[in-house]
Amino acid sequence: MDQTKKVLCRVLMASLLVAAYFGKNCYIHRSYQEDIAKRVLRFHVLANSDSEEDQALKLKVRDAVGSYMAPKMKEASDVEDCERIVEENMQKITAAAEEVIREEGYDYTVTAQLGDVKFPVKTYGAYTFPAGTYEALNLVIGAGEGHNWWCVMYPNMCFSGEEYEVVDREAKEALEQALTPEEYASLMENKNYEVSFKYLTFLNKDR
């Protein structure tokens, strides 16, 4: 009976330590995510469906919007300025998307707006952005029931010439300037925490 209590005690202690570890890290990274979200703007394109044709169309729409917005993004001095530029160009962004859709022979509608969107964890080069809610330019094609494409619009990690999701020197510098040192460092960390339940070996040692 005493031996059983001893084992249970160790299991309970191990569980509490693991819970405390995860609780602390979840709180810290949630706090960082909320702060980072205030300083970046993301870009989200949602396809009509998951058909091969609709997914290909999504990327062509992305390309058209990227080609139009890339030079304008260079004018943004901070996230608020970027939001202003996007708002001022919303009609032209929509028109650029609609033009591609018509050229490809579809009659899908397009909605473009700034709003809060939930994003999963996403890595761009050395930077891992935590999952959470971010403000984004949200572009929905047709029914919007297909897989999406997303990136960081400010600082610009979306568009670099003909390439996408490229973190060049300018983007790194802009990101470092936009964030606090702690927030910037948190993006460089590996978020894939692994826990080894070595404490549970006590179960075998005492038997």
What confidence tens digit (pLDDT) does each residue in 58-93 have?
999 999 999 999 899 888 999 999 999 999 999 999
pLDDT at res. 193: 42
The dihedral built from the CA positions of residue 76, 77, 82 and 88, taken in this order, carries a sign that is negative
Residues in the chain, pLDDT under 70: 1-30, 160-167, 190-207
Buried b / exposed e along 57-72 (16+ C-beta atoms within 10 A): bbeebbebbbebbeee
What is the domain range of residue 45? 40-178
183 part of a folded domain: no
pLDDT at site 170:
82
The pTM (predicted TM-score) of the whole model is 0.73
126 CB contacts (<8 Å, ≥6 apart)? 167, 188
C-alpha dist (Å) from residue 92 to 38, 66, 75? 25, 12, 17
CA dist., res. 121 & res. 1, Å (int):
46
Residue with tokens 């470092």: 176
Q: Please, are residues 117 and 44 in contact by the beta-carbon 8 Å criterion?
A: yes
The CB density around residue 10, as the number of other CB atoms within 10 Å, is: 17
Q: Quick check: is 27 in a domain? A: no
Give the count of domains, the chain: 1
